[in-house]
Amino acid sequence: MTSKILLVDDDSEVLSSLRFQLGSRFEVETANGAEYGIRAVLTTGPYAVVVSDLRMPHVDGVRFLAWLESQAPNTVRILHTAYADLQVSISAINEGHVFRLLTKPCATKDMIRALQDGLRQYELVESEKTLLQETLSGSVSLLTELLAIADEVSFGRAEKTRDYIKAFLASEKKQDAWELGVAAMLSRIGAVTMPDTVLEKLESGKDLSPVEQSMYARIPKIGHDLLANIPRLQDVAKIVLYHQKRFDGGGSPKDPVSGDKIPYESRVVKVFSDMVDLESTGLSRAAAFGTMSSRAGWYDPEIMRKLGALPELQQDAVSQPGTKRIIQCSLSDLRPGLVLHSAIMTVRGLRLLNAGVAISPPMLEKIRNHAELTGIKEPIEISR
């Protein structure tokens, strides 16, 4: 966390005086005017506190601090101005651009107190931000682990969807969007409410009854409702709500939203989620893409066009003979990250995990618990 302070004024003598007064107490940098202040923020920031004069040529203090608020909202902003500019300064405070107002000439003790208060305010905001991020990260991790335990098939497909989206974004030379990655992982979270019999039908590709189809159509809405109450996941919830919506407006949810009105992130998840589902039936990536191309109106044409130009996503997903080894091991040999070659079954015939699943720590705990209660069939086959 930074403790740097930036002083911005078009009067070099004022800056020299402030540096002399404050340099022994604070980590101070100066900028001779708003233009240099902007350059400093962009090149040597972030700053904990920025103190700016009001009347400067080209860009005044109010405009500069408003710009600073948009670029670095957590930076504490202090306006340093003559008493004659008080009304303008009050307007800046009311508009939310300024934490504190100091009038010229400002006593050294008052400036020191303002900077100390500003640094404490910055620490508080940054600490709350860190706490929120860690809480949010923990919430997402918990949800994905619960999905992995409750429905490892959906979890595995969600992981693959996320990886495909990462590859797509990399090909576009775009930074990986955090919300899009989280939405891909949690897009199937609503499936935890589905009966096991329906999940087994979906896994095997069997047709669903009308009642089961209605259940399946509600998965995006259930996922949305689960996520919408978590702070900062509202946008992710909306992506999940529309991730099964067809470009022509069909699919779930049944509302008039279609085309570009569907969130772009939802359109991306729809494309790659369907590709993963088709591959799970045994189709190669190229064959899955061909099937998707024949579905008129289902997908964003521009995303499909870009996908069609990616040879690495069109390669056959079937492994070449001899590229993997099958190893038999005991329960005590299992570790997170190992990939199952065949399903793990209890001695009573209950399937715990499916073939192809990468074992996570919660899954391993689930296996060990069942082993203690009823026992599991060994040896266990893993792929290497």
Per-residue model confidence as pLDDT tens digits over 140-160: 877 887 777 777 777 778 888
Determine the 3-state secondary structure of 200 from DSSP.
Answer: helix
Please give the pLDDT value at position 247.
97
Looking at per-residue confidence, does 205 or 165 come out higher? 165
| Mean pLDDT across the chain | 86
Average the pLDDT over 233-261 and give the result: 94
Which amino acid would we find at residue 23?
G
| pLDDT above 50: residue 29 | yes
Element (H, E) at 49: strand 49-53
What are the structural domains, with CATH classification, of the chain?
4-127 (3.40.50.2300), 151-313 (1.10.3210.10), 326-383 (3.90.105)
DSSP bridge pairs for 4: 27
Looking at per-residue confidence, does 303 or 340 come out higher? 303
Reported as a single tens digit per residue, the pLDDT across 52-111 is: 998 898 888 888 998 999 889 999 999 988 765 666 667 667 665 788 888 888 899 999
Tell me the pairing of strands 27-31 and 4-8. parallel
Helix %, strand %, coil % of the chain (to 5): 55, 10, 35
> Does the pLDDT of residue 176 top 60, yes or no?
no
Look up the pTM and report it: 0.60
From residue 158, give the alpha-carbon distance in Å to each of 151, 162, 230, 268: 11, 6, 20, 13
Determine how many CB atoms are found less than 10 A away from the CB of residue 169. 16
| Average pLDDT of the segment spanning 230-239 | 88
